[in-house]
Amino acid sequence: MGIHASPTCVISMENAEGYLIGEPHKGMRSMFFMMNEACLSVGLEGLALSEAAYQAALDFSKDRRQGRSLNRERNDPNAEADCILVHPDVRRMLLKVRSTNEAMRGLTFYVANNIDISHNHPDEAKRQQAEDIVSLLTPVVKSFFTDIGFLNTSEAMQVCGGIGYTTEWPIEQYMRDVRIAMIYEGTNHIQALDLVGRKLLIDGGRLIRTFGAEFGALLASVKGDERLTEFAKPTQDAFNTLTQLTMFLASNAPKDPELAAAVASAYLNVFGSAAFAFSWLHQCKYAVEQEDDFAKTKIKMARFYFRHVHPEIEARKQIVLNGKDAMMDFDESEF
């Protein structure tokens, strides 16, 4: 379907003899330790293809002319039709892609900085805290970035219409290439199980407490700054939602592992949404101190994100709280 540069094939192991490496029933734990770097790289693949698709769709939207703007002030007097970038839904699609790309990019730098700290900081406690943050966010980066990357690439194709589906434009290739990222190096649901079943439980929740402390410190650092209120409030709400759902899982999952598995993907998506809000607030904290066009556009992009994309966290929250019953109440014969 995609990644044709990779010599992918099926290998038959019918007469091969397998050798156990490590302790029995501990393979998943060992595998994830080995795969951490690969998981982060695959998450970046989702971001990279999403960004490439955005740039191709943006170029198309500026070149393609069709219809007139509903706002006459935007009409091009020198042409019989306006470029499709004037149309509200085209803007919605492009801005959704760009605003989530910028959230992913900000979170990528945050994780990368913590990788550096975990390797190089002279204080062992600081190194451990940074390592905890990287470990916690690795399944979020791998899963949420590739989910969003796939959806964004599809949105970019939609901007281009029928021609986006053809080989004349590169997005159809990006669409084929990005889909595998949700599967290899641990499927996205496996990443969610790793987050809920392992990362949240390590040392009584040490990892989530460490990240929560950084989240809380960011919120405290912008408290009272009226320039950031419109971004800080939904970010605080997202932090509260993440805390609420983490406590929900901590209370119920040990008694009902099936519940944890049923809502793990939805919980990871809530975590991703909260992390995106964290990323955007961090960027806005510095952007409001600048006067250049880049900073002004950054604030406008954050405003779009919090008003038109971030509210999805409420639906994801409700899915977690709805639990497993409506999902697991079917007999096999009813499928």
Residue 51 confidence (pLDDT): 98
Prediction pTM value: 0.93
pLDDT at site 32: 67
Indicate whether 300 pLDDT > 80: yes
Task: Report how far residue 46's alpha carbon sits from residue 68's, in angstroms, rounded to the nearest whole number.
Answer: 34
Lowest pLDDT segment from 24-28, 86-90, 128-132, 248-252: 24-28
Active site residue 102: no
Pull the structure tokens for residue 197.
Answer: 């079943």
Average pLDDT rounded to a whole number, residues 77-86: 84
Task: Give me the mean pLDDT over the 245-272 stretch.
Answer: 95
Helix (H) or strand (E) holding 116: helix 88-120
Higher pLDDT pick, 50 / 31:
50
192, 140 in Cβ contact below 8 A? no
Tens digits of residue pLDDT in 309-324: 999 999 999 999 999 9
Determine the Cα–Cα distance for residues 42 and 185; give it in Å rounded to an integer.
8
- Write down the H helix ranges in 253-311: 257-287, 293-308
Q: What is the mean pLDDT of residues 200-214?
A: 95
The CA R_g of the chain, rounded to the nearest whole Å, is 22
* High-pLDDT (> 70) share of the chain, %: 99
Give the residue-averaged pLDDT of 282-292.
97
Place of tokens 């004349």: 168
Mean pLDDT for the chain?
A: 94
Catalytic residue among 51, 102, 172, 185: 185
CB 267 within 8 A of CB 321: no
Question: pLDDT tens, 127-174?
Answer: 999 999 999 999 999 999 999 999 999 999 999 999 999 999 999 999
**Residue linked to tokens 């066009």:** 293
Residues forming a β-bridge with 65 = 83
